[in-house]
Amino acid sequence: MNIKAIIGLGNPGQRFNYNRHNIGFMVVDYLADQAHGQWQERENLAYCEIMIEDKKILLVKPQSFMNSSAIVVPWLAKKGIKPADFLVVHDELELPFGKVSHRCGGSARGHNGLRSLIASAGPDFCRIRCGIGRPENKEEVAQYVLSDFTEGTPAVETMVKTAADLIRELVVNLPI
């Protein structure tokens, strides 16, 4: 794996900013802020180039809704970035709130943003999974992921920082 791009998953628009589903956007925004990066807009995506140590990394936020996250894949391909070279940051129902993990490959496990990316790029990309917990009733999942975090700003900020630290570690410790 040679990380050249980090795709943060989320939904565009201010009303979604603090939604559980937007943790991917929050993480790439944090990375951009820490590196003093400037976001640029294209048709269906926002992107920002940053340096992590001596590696140039492209941060990407699809500006379509979650179900169409793969809209960024052709643009990345034109830049020579293959699925094996990108890392996707997303919310994960199967992890308790605040837990962050790294995984390569696998299925979408019901996540529509991952399903979109897998349909376009295949399953062989790595992910940073940010735990948001799960509601008790399956019927509440759609409403739950589109609801704002209730765990408090410090707890959400800790998860964002933990994910960003893991990303930096992966970028620095993997070969160019």
Can you read off the two tokens belonging to residue 58? 């492209």
User: Taking residues 25-39, what's their average pLDDT?
Assistant: 96
Q: What pLDDT is recorded for position 74?
A: 94
The string of pLDDT tens digits covering residues 96-115 is 999 999 998 888 787 888 89
133: helix, strand or coil: coil
**Statement: residue 175 has pLDDT above 70:** no
How far apart (Å, rounded) are the C-alpha atoms in residues 163 and 70? 22
Question: Global pTM?
Answer: 0.94
| pLDDT over 70, % of the chain | 98
Q: Which domains does the chain possess?
A: 5-173 (3.40.50.1470)
Q: Which residues are catalytic?
A: 21
CB 125 within 8 A of CB 86: yes
The string of pLDDT tens digits covering residues 123-169 is 989 999 999 999 989 899 999 999 999 999 999 999 999 999 999 99
Cα pseudo-dihedral 28, 34, 40, 44, rounded to 10? 0
